[in-house]
Amino acid sequence: MTYTLLHHTGCSTSRNGLALLQENGIEPEIRKYMNAGEALSVGELKDIAKKMGAASPREFLRDKDAKKFEIPEDLSDEKLYEAMVDNPRLIQRPIGIKGNKAVLGRPIEKLLEIK
């Protein structure tokens, strides 16, 4: 079963998460979701949330960027998914996905929970 890592090369935590996986013998398929050609859809984000057991996309919302982009705290989940698609900086990273499980790599050691 393939391990997929939602990765942003400009993020030190994401780079450290990738290095941790590789140090543990895991060579994940890298999805650079910030690139237009690898962008996530609303459906994919909902699937990730389900695999994480997340009740809301707010569980993997990057709070710092939500404030920067003035995302209202009362924005509906559906609108928040749409905002994440329009601006992937709002998605917390890294996220590891394997089979029917997904985990937010904060701290990065959590990425090893689904190896």
* Annotated catalytic residue, options 4, 11, 16, 89: 11
Distances (CA, A) of 62 to 70, 87, 97, 100: 12, 11, 18, 23
Q: What is the C-alpha R_g of the chain? A: 13
Q: Is 11 a catalytic residue?
A: yes
> Are the C-beta atoms of 95 and 53 separated by less than 8 Å?
no
Q: Provide the pairing of β-strand 29-31 with 95-98.
A: unpaired
Active-site positions? 11
